[in-house]
Amino acid sequence: MDFKLNEDHTMIRQMAKDFAQKQIAPKAAELDEKAQFPTENIRQMGELGFMGMMAPAELGGAGLDTLSYVLVLEEISAACASTAVTMSVNNSLFLGPILKFGNEAQKKMFIPDFAQGKKLGAYALSEAGSGSDAAALITTVTLKDGKYILNGSKIFITNGPDADAVIVFATHDKTKKHKGISAFIVEKNAKGFSVGKVEKKLGIKASSTSSIILDHCEVPVQNRLGEEGDGFKIAMSTLDNGRIGIATQALGIGQAAFAFATKYATEREAFGQPISQFQLIQGKLADMALQLDAARLLVWRAAWMRDQGMKITKEAAMAKLFASEAATFVTKEAVQILGGYGYSREYPVERYFRDAKITEIYEGTSEIQRLVIAREVLKDLVR
Ligand code: CAA
């Protein structure tokens, strides 16, 4: 087992860190305060290849592996979690299923601009009545005059207001449950497609989240991803990969909070000495470091396994569950170490604390990750 990153991975990580700290971190507080979408960050990241990291070079992507992706995404997340989720959704939830399940024409049409940050993608699975129980979705699809007609609405869609195209899941026949679901690439200019309510959120405020309304929305037959009825499996397999991204986002947020709190603890004095000299603070720093290291190992393992072409359902869920709970723990402790300053908007720690929470919710709650892990563990027993 080799825990040392190779030269390429070390280089891309350093490049991402330099870029994130110079270009992204200085703007993060203002974007958060104004809940302003990070358009310029996305454009710059597109130029660097970060918006389509695992797409092949011949389709305009960076042609890199999943480990490179998580190394870059951790650095972007440490600088601005809102920018990071925008990047993660475009890479994993939009480009991911097209690369895996799309035909050649779909790849040629949808990969290049989205991989280069010229266009942005989203993924629309959740509905008002189906979040965790994704197979219970009720958005319908019918085939009429050679076109698919979609009716329904989707909620909590990351990138929703800014997306140029969205992977949408709809059912042909509710009685078939998950087997009745298909996936479609729906462009924002499709007739009957509109953006609904834009969410105001606790954290990741600079990322955009909205509902999407499909009112007799017309989708060309050639925009169906996979076969009719394959949609649920496409959704689940896409989320396996997406969960590595959210785990990484959590790791980056936690790492940023830890770095800030550690430095603060060495500078802030109380009772005549830096607070880092107190064992109660040291205990916190030790627990924070431990949580982050364990999270990183789980994230890297899931990424490495994906690069080997292995099944990652359990490992991605473990990485996401552990890293998101670690981020919530670490950011809470960071606020505590900073005391009143941790609660103040003067410092970034309160933003890290707010941003961390969503990682325990989207792309499958912690409860769903536990369910996925338990099911896989039980399957392993009978294998
Ligand atoms: N890969 C491929 N296929 C899979 C799979 C996977 N990871 N998981 C399940 N399947 C297949 C199963 O093999 C089964 O296939 P067969 O019919 O051939 O047997 C089929 O899918 C149904 O599987 P289950 O019986 O396990 O399905 P279920 O209804 O019990 O649901 C669940 C499973 C894990 C609870 C699933 O519904 C789930 O993951 N829920 C959470 C959804 C979620 O994460 N939503 C977030 C949306 S994205 C988002 O957050 C917004 C954003 O923009 C960031």
DSSP one-letter string for 226-281: SSTT-HHHHHHHHHHHHHHHHHHHHHHHHHHHHHHHHHHHHH-EETTEEGGGSHHH
90 secondary structure, DSSP code = I
**Is 363 one of the annotated active-site residues of the chain?**
yes
Looking at the domain assignment, is residue 291 inside a domain?
A: yes
Mutate which of 88, 178, 365 for ligand 1 pocket (most atoms within 8 A of beta carbon): 178
Of 92, 119, 146, which marks where a domain is finished?
119
Q: How far is the CA of 180 from the centre of ligand 1 (A)?
A: 14
Q: Look up the domain containing 57 and give its range.
A: 7-119
Of 229, 253, 281, which marks where a domain is finished?
229
Mean pLDDT of the chain: 98
Looking at the domain assignment, is residue 319 inside a domain?
A: yes
The verdict on 149 and 172 lying in the same domain is yes
The verdict on 87 and 197 lying in the same domain is no
The verdict on 260 and 375 lying in the same domain is yes
User: Around Cβ 193, how many Cβ atoms within 10 Å?
Assistant: 20
Domain count, the chain: 3
DSSP one-letter string for 93-161: IIIHHHHHH--HHHHHHHHHHHHTTSS-EEEE--BTTBSSSGGG---EEEEETTEEEEEEEEEEEETGG
Give residues with Cβ within 8 angstroms of 181, minimum separation 6: 135, 137, 169, 170, 171, 172, 229, 231, 232, 235
pLDDT in tens, 82-141: 999 999 999 999 999 999 999 999 999 999 999 999 999 999 999 999 999 999 999 999
Q: How far apart are the first and last CA of the chain?
A: 25
Mutate which of 100, 198, 233, 375 for ligand 1 pocket (most atoms within 8 A of beta carbon): 233
pLDDT in tens, 356-377: 999 999 999 999 999 999 999 9
The verdict on 156 and 56 lying in the same domain is no
Q: Distance (Å, rounded) from C-alpha 242 to C-alpha 89? A: 7
The verdict on 247 and 291 lying in the same domain is yes
Q: Whose CA is nearest to atom 21 of ligand 1?
A: 233
Residue 1: pLDDT band (50, 70, 90) is confident
Token couple for 82: 């809102």
The verdict on 202 and 303 lying in the same domain is no
Of 196, 229, 262, which marks where a domain is finished?
229
